[in-house]
Amino acid sequence: MNNQIGKLYLIPTTLGDSEPLDVLPITVKQTIDSIDTFIVENDKTARRFIKSISPEKSQPSLTMFHLNKFTDKADLPTFLNPCLHGEDVGLLSEAGCPGVADPGAEIVKIAHQKNIKVVPLVGPSSILMAIMSSGMNGQSFTFNGYLPIDKGERKNEIKRLERLSFEQNQSQIFIETPYRNNKMLEDLSAVLENNTDVCVACDITLSTEFIKTQTANQWKKNKVDLHKRPTIFIIHKS
């Protein structure tokens, strides 16, 4: 019997249809080559990614545990049972880095509780790449996830984040459902003070990448189509 505990590898994926090895280090391929058990959000997209980076790997030999909104939380600890029997397990996100704005954080927490070594691999994080390319405060920033859908609540939240940014010199990062991106930019332009900076970071690492920081007032005059394009928004009031 193997008494050695396996490791949990946090395996980043591409942020879109980029060639994997254009944006991911060779260690990601090497790790995938050596693992046959994965925790994934979607079986189909996970297998497609694995095939793209490791085409010689046998797909029928793979074991997939599914981590999504339909997963019973009581089942999560069992996903790591292979580690307890000496087998390494890979955690894949649908896009970018596992555990960052991603349900994989629950698995990582359980791994620590079970004394399973967690090994994060290098890969693209749209949140970090957006802040580093925004020209805003890279030493103090907060990721806020999604803003409210209700128009009144959203307006109040935008104003609150603007005040917080000014009072704490802290850049405020958030996202929107891609088909509502254009409306989000319209709302920011209308609600924020004219001189508040807004960064729009869209399609990061893709051939259609667009990253621009300008004031809310300037965004009123300079339109960009963000419809159904993965986008990070950042605001900062100086």
Q: What is the pLDDT of residues 57-82, one digit of tens each?
A: 999 999 999 999 899 999 999 999 99
Q: Kindly state the average pLDDT of the residues 86-103.
A: 94
Q: Does the structure show a pLDDT above 80 at 14? A: yes
pLDDT value of residue 235? 98
pLDDT of residue 1: 45
Check: pTM over 0.75? Answer yes or no: yes
For position 223, what pLDDT does the model report? 84
* Residue 163 neighbours by CB under 8 Å, 6+ apart: 237
CA atoms within 13 A on the CB side of 69: 0
Average pLDDT of the residues of the chain: 95
Task: Report the pLDDT value the prediction gives residue 69, as an integer from 0 to 100.
Answer: 87
pLDDT exceeds 60 at position 2: no
Is it the case that residue 207 has pLDDT exceeding 90?
yes
- Match 């609540």 to its residue by tokens: 153
Of the candidates 46, 28, 27, 151, the one whose C-alpha atom is nearest the C-alpha of residue 104 is 46
Task: Decide if pLDDT at 200 tops 60.
Answer: yes
Torsions phi, psi of 198, nearest 5?
-130, 125
Question: Are 136 and 198 spatial neighbours (Cβ–Cβ below 8 Å)?
Answer: no
